[in-house]
Amino acid sequence: DSGVTQTPKHLITATGQRVTLRCSPRSGDLSVYWYQQSLDQGLQFLIQYYNGEERAKGNILERFSAQQFPDLHSELNLSSLELGDSALYFCASSSGTGRSDTQYFGPGTRLTVL
């Protein structure tokens, strides 16, 4: 157990809908990262937050948005869902400071868009 939690574990929805994925980082970690892993694909970086502020952005679609709250949990919002958005979405957290900035991954949310 990495100490990073994600809910829900599974999510099944229809095209055009909107969903919210939630992540709680490890205790004390200030940085949260979101990654997308499609079937047979690697891990694609979406976005990073550090202490409530957006720090880095990857190839995140405009239909996707995220935020980090004062209690440091983060939410990833996916809207106007398409079949191709079906994937595993992982959240990772790290201390966000110094050179010892190991990223620890949560268990993931499996999103299925029908």
Please report, as ranges, the residues that interact with another protein according to CB under 8 A: 2, 31, 33, 41-45, 48, 50, 55-56, 58, 90, 94, 96, 99, 101-108
- Do β-strands 19-24 and 74-78 pair in parallel, antiparallel, or remain unpaired? antiparallel
Query: Considering beta carbons, is residue 14 or 27 the nearer one to another protein?
Result: 27
Residue 16: CB minimum distance to another protein, A: 27
Query: Considering beta carbons, is residue 14 or 98 the nearer one to another protein?
Result: 98
User: Helix, strand, coil shares of the chain as percentages rounded to 5?
Assistant: 5, 50, 45
Q: Where are the beta strands (DSSP E) in 28-86?
A: 31-37, 43-50, 53-57, 64-68, 74-78
Query: Considering beta carbons, is residue 20 or 104 the nearer one to another protein?
Result: 104
